[in-house]
Chains A and B, each alone.
Chain A
Amino acid sequence: MNNDLSEFGLSDEELFSHVDHSELESEKITAPRYSYWQSVFRVFFKKKINIFILVVLAIIIGFAYLYPPLIEYDKFANLLDASAKHLHPLPAMQKMGYNIHWILGAGAAGQSTFDAIWVGSRISISLALICAAINMTVGVIAGALWGFSRKVEIFMMELFNIVYNVPYLLVCAVLVMLFTPSFWVMVFAFTITQWLSIAYFIRTQVIIIRDREYNLASKCLGTSTVKIAIKNILPFMTSVIVTLLATEIPYYISMEVFLSYVGLGLSDMSLGRLIYEAESAMVTPGWGFEFWSPVAVASIIAVVLYVAGQNLGDASDPRTHM
């Protein structure tokens, strides 16, 4: 036996040193260091498609927020020039000069479609982001309360059943007719009832997790409800919330387009209004470009935000971090 150990080249003291029992050491968990958000981004960037999506997103956001202040967009600048209307990119560039403004042709008032799209995108993206922020904040808090308290449950369920049955279109119509359809009125119209459906979704999730064994155990050990909500349940919900956010933002863009289409949209030049105004161009041969360009941009924005959100939602699920 002794011979066998000698090959390690250690002294007897080193081989058989006495280790005291240490309370502190025994509490230590020997696992690799784990940081939640670091892991989220590690998983997120592991997929190459996400980098591509983020680049596209950056380009879109950049154009939407940095480009309009640089140019002075005037829809009616070429109004009196009859030959400047409904132009394809090539004739438009031949007429107006070879620059970035005319690469998507000209619209019904002789305006640059490219400029109009980015001015509209800025409004539409801002609207979607602000509405999503308000609705998610209110919805998640209300949903958490809803899931936890029985008293709140009775009241909220009634409220939800009633509000759910009031035609949403009518709510928008009343608000639009009551006030002028400005940006903040639209934000109001999108937030006044929509937070309820988010709250309902969150409530269902909270109820599912609330009665799991680990929460019952935590409750038995005397953890307060607020602490259970913040420490035990909220981390579990992060991926759900991010996934929900991913569906919310395209939803508002889509909704805004829809409302514009039925004539209840913004008075500002949003993407929805652009599509609505160019609808007649879609059926006219040769004018299709001015209709399809805003549609394509609206779709790209929505898809990119959706995919980025979905993948971030997947990455924020701790089960994917292994």
Chain B
Amino acid sequence: MAKYLFKRILHGLVSIVIVVGIVMIMIYSIMDRNLIFAKDNTYTHQSNNTKIVYKYQKWEDYGYLDYVPYADYLLELVDNGEIDEETRSKAVAIGRTEDQDSEIVQQYVKQFKSYYKSQGYKIKRLDAKMMNPKKVADGGNQQLFAYKDVSLASRLWKYFSNIITIDNINKVEDVEGKRGLTFTLYDPVYGGEKFSPAIIGNGTTHKYLLYFDSKFPYIHQNIVTINLGTSYSVNFGMDVFNTMTRAQGSYVKSTITYPTGLTEESADDLHSATYMRHSLETSRVYEARYTDDYTNVDTVKANKSKIGFSFIIGILATIMAYVLGVPLGIVMARKKDKLVDKIGTFYIVFIMAVPSLAYIFLFKAIGGKLGLPTTFNMESTNKLMYVLPIVSLALPQIGNLMKWLRRYMIDQMNSDYVKFARAGGLTESEIFRKHIFKNAVIPIVQGVPGAVLGAMTGAIITERVYVVPGAGNLLTEAISKYDNGVIVGVTLFYALLTVTSVILGDVLMALVDPRISFSTKDR
């Protein structure tokens, strides 16, 4: 069993990598990359060479290619100590055309070109666009840069090697003070008097690596972070996993003592502090509050995350579906061809055939007439607003469960063992409960993990119609905003959930039905 499961998991992981690869090919290679500028106002307002440079910069932001301007290359040389600032300022001034370059420029341009050409980059030099012989046209300044399309292999490797990051004390550059971890029993966030153990790092990305607070599950860690890809247009700079799991809604303010001792009503969550290079000296606000460069803090918000909302609605809908669908399916099978069965069949036909959009709107209209809230409002405490989304999600699931359970039970009813049980003198309800149901429910059991985990992905139409701030719309939003990072991240998340739920479903099936075995020996 263990060997079989290991093989299955390995197999699943391989197919996930292939899926991510296919999605990457689809969005980075097949789709026209000029599409991202369709709704970009900055792009349309630019002209000449700046427009071209802007395009390459954006493509780098969206992850299509690697773009290096000549000026950045020179800056890097300065950083490495190869040239001094004076040479740089002379070398950076490239001529309007190639033959107008000064000698020093020619030397470094040549060096730039040969360096990047050897790494497979393409060099692009744009000569100045002139309005008249003396004046450069608007945005027509000369440009020099190197670019290279990111290959699928390196993209995949970079993506998967960055998924799990383990924080360590050498993670950030030029940190003040000694690198290391300190263990304290009295967390400074709580004023340093309350007993609350924490591990604080210096040189790590996160300041607090381990800490306790009053929120479930009470102990939190920042050592291992999951990184599904950075969002660009949906939620700028934010990781996809973070976008899905971080709290939403209005700020929750509380009295906070900053490291400098300043006490203030604020929503800042000091436990989430991450390192931001040289941030302390850039801002007075930071200087008044922080003593080091760990200034980038998240805020405490009142409501659940995207996944939180989707999951709570999805899981309640799933529970409702099983609680109602299974007994109804049994009743339909027992009263086959009677009135109950006919009504049930009518319901199944309705749910199966009518477009989902249509019946969701229908339930919304009916719910509205009954006085239930038809739109979701995060700030409201009214629990009734959950009712319509849950019902809308549960009704098709109920129909589906009824359909299959009825089918499986009726198939079992003609089996020999049922005739034998009947001949043995068991009552009908005993036969149904102890024999038919146990056999018919096995294929249903397989779907349970899928239903539970699937609740996390959210429902696109339901969430849109009831304005639920859930995870269901993340993919559609990312597609419409061409946010490649989010598309890849969400795909990976979905694929992970399906692969896991199929494996769990098989395991659960084997647990329920002792006849099913996965080890080849037993067969």
A-B residue pairs in contact (CB < 8 Å), sample of 11: A158-B15, A165-B491, A166-B491, A170-B23, A170-B475, A170-B479, A178-B32, A253-B355, A282-B361, A302-B355, A306-B349
Cβ contacts under 8 Å, A167 to chain B: 23, 475, 490-491, 494
Q: Say yes or no: is B378 at the interface (Cβ < 8 Å to chain A).
A: no
Does B352 contact A250, Cβ atoms closer than 8 Å?
yes
Q: Say yes or no: is A262 at the interface (Cβ < 8 Å to chain B).
A: yes
Q: Say yes or no: is B22 at the interface (Cβ < 8 Å to chain A).
A: yes
Q: What's the Cα separation between A254 and B27 when bound, in Å? A: 26
Does B461 contact A247, Cβ atoms closer than 8 Å?
no
How many chain A residues touch the partner (CB < 8 A)? 37
Q: Say yes or no: is A177 at the interface (Cβ < 8 Å to chain B).
A: yes
Cβ contacts under 8 Å, A174 to chain B: 26-27, 30-31
Q: What's the Cα separation between A250 and B353 when bound, in Å? A: 6
B window 307-355: CB within 8 A of A = 349-350, 352-355
Residue among B30, B352, B498 making CB contact with A306, cutoff 8 Å = B352
Q: Say yes or no: is B418 at the interface (Cβ < 8 Å to chain A).
A: no
A window 82-129: CB within 8 A of B = none
Q: What's the Cα separation between A223 and B491 when bound, in Å? A: 47
Known: A177-B32, A298-B358. A307 touches B22 (CB 8 A): no
Q: What's the Cα separation between A165 and B352 when bound, in Å? A: 23
Q: What's the Cα separation between A171 and B23 when bound, in Å? A: 9
Does A307 contact B358, Cβ atoms closer than 8 Å?
no
**Who on chain B is nearest to A307 by CB?**
B349
Q: Say yes or no: is A131 at the interface (Cβ < 8 Å to chain B).
A: no
Does A262 contact B354, Cβ atoms closer than 8 Å?
no
Q: What's the Cα separation between A299 and B479 when bound, in Å? A: 28
Q: What's the Cα separation between A149 and B475 when bound, in Å? A: 37
Residue among B27, B357, B475 making CB contact with A261, cutoff 8 Å = B357
Cβ contacts under 8 Å, A161 to chain B: 11, 15
Q: What's the Cα separation between A176 and B178 when bound, in Å? A: 55
Known: A253-B355, A262-B460. A165 touches B499 (CB 8 A): yes
As a 0/1 sequence over residues 1 to 38 of chain B, the CB contacts with chain A under 8 angstroms (1 = contact) are 00000000001000110110011001100111001000
Does B31 contact A165, Cβ atoms closer than 8 Å?
no
Does A165 contact B355, Cβ atoms closer than 8 Å?
no
Q: Say yes or no: is B266 at the interface (Cβ < 8 Å to chain A).
A: no
Q: What's the Cα separation between A169 and B365 when bound, in Å? A: 27
For residue B79, give the distance in angstroms from its CB to the closest CB of chain A. 40
Q: What's the Cα separation between A263 and B461 when bound, in Å? A: 12
**Who on chain A is nearest to B374 by CB?**
A283
Cβ contacts under 8 Å, B439 to chain A: none
Cβ contacts under 8 Å, A291 to chain B: 361
Cβ contacts under 8 Å, A241 to chain B: none
Q: Say yes or no: is A258 at the interface (Cβ < 8 Å to chain B).
A: yes
Known: A247-B352, A307-B349. A275 touches B494 (CB 8 A): no
Q: What's the Cα separation between A169 and B490 when bound, in Å? A: 12
Cβ contacts under 8 Å, B362 to chain A: 295
Does B26 contact A165, Cβ atoms closer than 8 Å?
no
Does A169 contact B361, Cβ atoms closer than 8 Å?
no
Q: What's the Cα separation between A291 and B31 when bound, in Å? A: 34
Q: Say yes or no: is B170 at the interface (Cβ < 8 Å to chain A).
A: no
Residue among A166, A247, A306, A310 making CB contact with B19, cutoff 8 Å = A166
Q: Say yes or no: is B480 at the interface (Cβ < 8 Å to chain A).
A: yes
Does A258 contact B353, Cβ atoms closer than 8 Å?
no
Cβ contacts under 8 Å, B476 to chain A: 169, 262-263
Given contacts A250-B354, A295-B362, 18 further A-B contacts (CB under 8 A): A165-B16, A165-B491, A167-B475, A167-B494, A169-B479, A170-B23, A170-B475, A173-B479, A174-B26, A250-B352, A257-B355, A258-B460, A261-B461, A261-B464, A275-B357, A282-B361, A302-B353, A306-B352
Q: Say yes or no: is A164 at the interface (Cβ < 8 Å to chain B).
A: yes
Cβ contacts under 8 Å, B15 to chain A: 158, 161-162, 165
Q: What's the Cα separation between A263 and B476 when bound, in Å? A: 9
How many chain B residues touch the partner (CB < 8 A)? 39
Residue among A171, A250, A258, A295 making CB contact with B461, cutoff 8 Å = A258
Q: What's the Cα separation between A192 and B249 when bound, in Å? A: 41
Q: Say yes or no: is A303 at the interface (Cβ < 8 Å to chain B).
A: yes
Known: A170-B26, A295-B361. A165 touches B494 (CB 8 A): yes
Q: Say yes or no: is B245 at the interface (Cβ < 8 Å to chain A).
A: no
Q: What's the Cα separation between A305 and B354 when bound, in Å? A: 11
Does A275 contact B358, Cβ atoms closer than 8 Å?
yes
As a 0/1 sequence over residues 235 to 276 of chain A, the CB contacts with chain B under 8 angstroms (1 = contact) are 000000000000100100110011001111000000010010
Q: Say yes or no: is B227 at the interface (Cβ < 8 Å to chain A).
A: no
Does B480 contact A303, Cβ atoms closer than 8 Å?
no
Q: Say yes or no: is B431 at the interface (Cβ < 8 Å to chain A).
A: no
Does B349 contact A258, Cβ atoms closer than 8 Å?
no
- Residue of A173, A253, A257, A307 with highest tally of chain B CB at under 10 A: A173
Q: Say yes or no: is B242 at the interface (Cβ < 8 Å to chain A).
A: no
Cβ contacts under 8 Å, B495 to chain A: 165
Residue among B353, B365, B494 making CB contact with A303, cutoff 8 Å = B353
For residue B36, give the distance in angstroms from its CB to the closest CB of chain A. 11
Q: What's the Cα separation between A178 and B25 when bound, in Å? A: 13
Q: Say yes or no: is B487 at the interface (Cβ < 8 Å to chain A).
A: yes
A window 288-322: CB within 8 A of B = 291, 295, 298-299, 302-303, 305-307, 310
Q: What's the Cα separation between A264 and B464 when bound, in Å? A: 15
Does B498 contact A298, Cβ atoms closer than 8 Å?
no
Cβ contacts under 8 Å, A169 to chain B: 460, 475-476, 479
B window 82-103: CB within 8 A of A = none
A window 142-172: CB within 8 A of B = 158, 161-162, 164-167, 169-171
Q: Say yes or no: is B356 at the interface (Cβ < 8 Å to chain A).
A: yes
Cβ contacts under 8 Å, A164 to chain B: 498
Cβ contacts under 8 Å, A254 to chain B: 354-357
For residue A225, give the distance in angstroms from its CB to the closest CB of chain B. 25
Cβ contacts under 8 Å, B479 to chain A: 169-170, 173, 264
Q: What's the Cα separation between A247 and B351 when bound, in Å? A: 11
**Who on chain B is nearest to A172 by CB?**
B479
Does B358 contact A295, Cβ atoms closer than 8 Å?
yes
A window 181-238: CB within 8 A of B = none
Residue among B19, B350, B356, B494 making CB contact with A258, cutoff 8 Å = B356
Does B30 contact A165, Cβ atoms closer than 8 Å?
no
Q: Which 8 A-B pairs have the closest CB atoms?
A: A306-B353, A254-B355, A165-B495, A302-B353, A299-B354, A257-B355, A303-B353, A295-B358
Does B19 contact A165, Cβ atoms closer than 8 Å?
yes
For residue A16, give the distance in angstroms from its CB to the closest CB of chain B. 47
Q: What's the Cα separation between A170 and B483 when bound, in Å? A: 12
For residue B347, give the distance in angstroms from its CB to the closest CB of chain A. 12
Cβ contacts under 8 Å, B464 to chain A: 261-262
For residue B142, give the distance in angstroms from its CB to the closest CB of chain A. 34
Residue among B31, B480, B487 making CB contact with A178, cutoff 8 Å = B31
For residue B34, give the distance in angstroms from its CB to the closest CB of chain A. 11
**Who on chain A is nearest to B487 by CB?**
A170
For residue B256, give the distance in angstroms from its CB to the closest CB of chain A. 41
Cβ contacts under 8 Å, A272 to chain B: 355
Q: What's the Cα separation between A164 and B497 when bound, in Å? A: 12
Cβ contacts under 8 Å, B22 to chain A: 162, 166
Known: A258-B461, A303-B349. A165 touches B498 (CB 8 A): yes
